[in-house]
Amino acid sequence: MLATGLSFVAVTGTVRHLGTALPSAEAAFLRFVIGLVFLLPALIVALRAGLPEGTPRLILGRGVLHVIAVILWFYAMARLPVAEVTAIGYLNPIVVTVGAAVFLGEKLAFRRIAAIVVALIGALVILRPGVREISDGQLAQLGAATCFGLSYLIAKRLSSVMSAGALVALLSLTVTIGLAPFAIAAWVPPTLTQIGQLAIVAAFATLGHYSMARAFAAAPLTVTQPVTFLQLVWATLLGVIAFSEPVDPYILIGGAMIIAAISYMTWREAQVRRRGVTPAAVEAEA
């Protein structure tokens, strides 16, 4: 998880350095084209095996959500401090939890609802509406976090019938195709330096997802989840050192509240699973 956090901070830092020189849709398209090269072997295996019945619509829907998410994320990353983008991105699991209740019928008991409320208060601490103006970059990152969360929710459904490698490879293919018309419409000829930077983004993103998968296989979520808070520490340090961004204590406090709420939900769910029996109604989805 330490390697995962450092990899994802390298991704955000590189995109931050790229800035607004390329339209967000084009930058995202080039990143996924390059990333598709890394995933080509897994994609070939997935396509040869064929898609399980009922999955094409879900795969397409996930691709659409991810197209919107990555365009919004690249837009926000070029305009917000690295730490702020990272902190707002912690809302992804909250979106997944709420989405599971709305679309999959999962119950929300009091403890889980309380954790969601704490996370949302953490988001308000970061954004501070009424104290400062909400920028388009912040709105873009909120939109990205929502779309990423819904995309992960679909991935949860697909993971029961498809391998992780196939899911990632097919996602990269659908997102690359989906981004193409947006990229072409706003195309600006990229320099070799910009292509190199986006290759670095693709490489670190691939490494981050790989190391995350290894961490999940090696330890329970109750161990790995709290470590993700270090990603905000790395992002803050990167912003200070590389981009001269001031340390915003509200971002650190709000991010800590969000990750604490997520860690609590993860811990409670692990406790329920370890009991091996059906928990009481109040605790069933705590």
- Chain segment 167-222, per-residue pLDDT in tens: 888 988 999 999 999 999 999 999 999 999 999 999 998 888 778 777 767 776 66
Residue 229 to residue 124: CA distance in whole angstroms? 18
Per-residue confidence band for 66, with pLDDT thresholds at 50, 70 and 90: very high
Nearest alpha carbon to residue 23 among 86, 72, 85, 83: 72
pLDDT (0 to 100) of residue 69: 94
Nearest alpha carbon to residue 65 among 145, 126, 137, 148: 148
Amino acid at 28: A
Domain-embedded: residue 282: no
Sign of CA dihedral 140, 143, 149, 155: negative
**Residue given tokens 């930058």 in the structure block:** 27
Domain-embedded: residue 236: yes
Least confident of 87-96, 139-148, 271-280: 271-280
pLDDT (0 to 100) of residue 222: 62
pLDDT (0 to 100) of residue 53: 87
Domain housing 41: 2-275
Domain-embedded: residue 175: yes
Instruction: Give the number of other Cβ atoms within 10 Å of residue 128's Cβ.
Output: 14
Q: What is the pLDDT of residues 229-274, one digit of tens each?
A: 788 888 999 999 988 999 999 999 999 999 888 888 878 777 776 7
Cα 204 from chain centroid (whole Å): 14
Which residues touch 235 (CB under 8 Å, ≥6 apart)? 9, 12, 13, 82, 83, 85, 86, 87
Domain-embedded: residue 285: no
Q: How many domains does the chain have?
A: 1
pTM, 2 dp:
0.82
Q: What is the pLDDT of residues 154-167, one digit of tens each?
A: 887 888 888 877 88
Domain-embedded: residue 95: yes
Amino acid at 80: L
Domain-embedded: residue 283: no
Task: Calculate the CA dihedral of residues 258, 81, 126, 100 and round it to 10 degrees.
Answer: -40
Q: What is the pLDDT of residues 4-21, one digit of tens each?
A: 889 989 998 898 888 888
Domain-embedded: residue 138: yes
Arithmetic mean of pLDDT over the chain: 86
Domain-embedded: residue 150: yes
As a whole number of angstroms, the longest Cα–Cα distance in the chain is 60
